[in-house]
Structure formats: C-alpha cells, structure tokens
Amino acid sequence: MGGYFRKQNLTEAKNRICSPNRIAIALSSLFLSFEKLKTKFFKVQSIMEVHLAFWILKWSFGWSGSEEVLGIDSWELGNELCGTGISANVDAKQYSRDAIALRKILNELYQDSTIKPKLLAPGGFFDQKWFSTFLQASGPDVVDVVMHHIYNLGPGDDPNLMHKIQDPLYLDKIKQTYKDVETTLKSFPWTSAWIGEAGGAYNSGGKTVSHSFLNSFWYLDQLGMTSTFNHKTFCRQSLIGGNYGLLNTTNFVPNPDYYNALLWHKLMGKNVLRATHNGSPHLRVYSHCSRTKPGITLLLINMSNSTSFDVSVVNDVKLHPTIEELKGEHAREEYHLTPKDGNLQSNVMLLNGSPLVLTKLLGIPAMNPVNADRSSPIRIAPDSIVFATLRDVLVPACA
C-alpha cells in the first residue's frame, strides 16, 4: 500500500491485519526536499538528510529500538530515483552513500532488538550500469534487497492493452530485464531481487481491464516468470487504489487477481522447478514444489481464445515411469479458473465453475480443488488458467 501512516494507524494495521496473517511490513524512508520536487527532471544531490532521517525513524513512530514497537520487517530507501529516474534522479554513488548512512542508523536503532530489518533499494526501473555502480559502491552488509519496478504493459489507456495481455510474444519482452537483474546480482551475492512495484499498466492501469479476469493472464504469468529468474518477492500495485487494485476501491470486494494471489500463495512453494513443453506459445507452464508436501504444483495458462490443450506430465528425473506410478496413490488436484459468462472483462472469476464471491458473512469463499485421475492429461480450456497439484511426482528438489 502507498500512503502515509501515523504511528497509531500503523500499529493498528500491524495488530489487526499483519500479525494475524503473517504479513511483513515494509516502510519507505524517502527523505527529500519538497521544494526541489517542484522542478521536474532535476538531479538530486542527496536522497537523505541523515540527521533528519534518524529523528524521523526514532521519534515520529515513538521508536524505542525494540521489535514490540512496530515490528518493521524492512525499510525502503527511495522511490524511482535510480537511472534516469521519474522526474528526478540520484547519482548511483551518492545513493550508495545514503544507503550506507541509513544502514548505520538502522544498526544503531535495532542494536538491542532480536530482529534486524532489511534495507531495500533503490525501488525504480532497472538500469544495469546504475545498479552495478550502486551495489559496488555500497558494498556488502548494506543493501539486503535490490528492488525494481515493472509496468511492462505500457499506459493504462492504450487501446491495445487487452491484446498485449494475451500476446505471449509481447509478454516475453520483459524476460530480458529479469535475466539482466539475475545476472547482475550474481556479482553481489549478499543481495536478492524483488519486484518492488508492479501494476501491469501504469497511470493507474486500464479502466476496464486491470481489475478484470483478463488481467489474470498478465499477473500469474509475471509471478511464474519472475520466479524462474530468481526473484524472491513480487509486490503488487496495489491492494486498494487505481484500476489495478486487488480490492474494489468502492466496496472493497476482491477482484480476480486477489484470488489469484491467494491460490499462488496456497499452492506454489518456494522451490522453482524447470518446466518446458513442446506446444503452442499461447500455453504457459510453470512448476514449483508444492507449498505443502509432497509433490509439485503446475501453473498452466492458456492465452488462446480458441484452442484447448491436453497436457501430460513427464518427470525428467525418471523418463519412463511404470503404470503403477502413473496411477499413483493420490488423485490430481485441479483448480480451473475461468471468467463468469465467458466475459474476459468480468470482475467475477469462477473456480471449477463456481463464482468466487464473498460469503454472507463477508468471508473468503472455500477454494477447493476437483480431483482428477492422475494418469489422464490435464485439459486447459481456451481463455482459462489451471493450477494442478500432483502429489505422486517426487523430485529431489522437493524432498
């Protein structure tokens, strides 16, 4: 979420929402002169006034240095000021000096705490030369997480937005950025990569698209794709706000991508597996170890509006399983996602034919699978998405 919190608001959010649901809190610590921000396309000499930063962190939230105060998981330094920036930018070496200064402040404030918050930076669009210079200059034990932003669908008012979301060749263009980030960070092993902000289309997303079932193709494809390039976290823009919010901005009813996020978290474990197929590029396939053992979970995305696909799974570890192993002891668990009434721009998503809508008590509905014969192929209908958990597929990475 973006915005401003008082300590009371943040404490209430932590106690009522975050802690019960094991949600980590990351706060942005951007310290700039607002007078300077009146002039666009300027170069900022420093992102942070060190003394101001210290007192803001220590006193604005009633800080005592103990985790009982707020339990902040991580602090982000800056927002879209790297590379050429958005309206403003900071030199990479200056940014590194500011990061070092913030790390010293955090180390002092948390010296008696059992938790040590992560420092996240720079939170902007990837520029390989800038990021490399920044990480080289800041050195180890300063920046824990390198965050970059993704809005690869272009502006929200693009008349071709709907087509882009289901065009696999267009969606593949962002792969090079993810690969470049992964390659760059291999030289700085003390960091890991996060998508710090991603809403698909910028300028608040597409008015009739970003909150609909159609956006599921972009969102789940990005979750799968970033995982294969060793990105550890994907921060979706936004929970509430804009056309791309996970919740309706008026009544807070979940949009389809809210349920997509729940299913991803429920089914896809942290270990990423290599998954390939020899079919149409309109079929996307991703595979992880299952969140709950044993087995693996597949994510299959059919971006074609006319072709069904039948997918049979072959384990590369053992290319010739026996008939008994194909039958297995466990049925395959399938979650088929489709739009209500076949309307891709519907705000209601069906799970195995039943609409995902809040219960009478405004609770999240049950999200149960249908069972299928393990030896039969998985059928993915046109314009649909399937999660499939195979309990009998055992690979060393998931042991």
Domains of the chain in sequence order = 7-269 (3.20.20.80), 283-398 (2.60.40)
Tens digits of residue pLDDT in 201-242? 999 999 999 999 999 999 999 999 999 999 999 999 999 999
| 95's tokens | 């940014």
Going by DSSP bridges, is the β-strand pair 231-236/349-351 parallel, antiparallel, or unpaired? unpaired
Surface-to-core class of residue 159, CB atoms within 10 Å of its CB (0-12 exposed, 13-18 middle, 19+ buried): exposed
Each residue of 15-29: b (16+ CB within 10 Å) or e?
Answer: eeebeeeeeebbbeb
Q: What is the largest CA-CA distance in the chain?
A: 72
Supply the mean pLDDT for the chain: 88
For helices 175-185 and 128-138, the axis angle rounded to 10 degrees is 20
Which DSSP symbol is given to 178?
H
- Per-residue pLDDT at 2 exceeds 80: no
Distances (CA, A) of 107 to 65, 113, 114, 192, 279: 10, 10, 12, 20, 52
Q: Which two tokens stand for residue 258?
A: 């809210």
User: Which band of pLDDT confidence, cut at 50, 70 and 90, is reported for residue 17?
Assistant: confident
Catalytic residues, which ones? 80, 197
pTM score, whole prediction: 0.91
Q: Are 374 and 330 in contact (CB under 8 A)?
A: yes
Angle, helix 92-109 to helix 128-138, in steps of 10 degrees: 40
60 — pLDDT class (breaks 50, 70, 90): very low
Task: Tell me the helices (H) and strands (E) count for the chain, helix number first.
Answer: 10, 20
Given this model, what pLDDT does residue 52 score? 59
CA nearest neighbour of 233 among 265, 273, 211:
265
pLDDT at 317: 67
Residue 32 clears pLDDT 60, i.e. is over it:
no
Residue with the larger pLDDT of the pair 175 and 47: 175
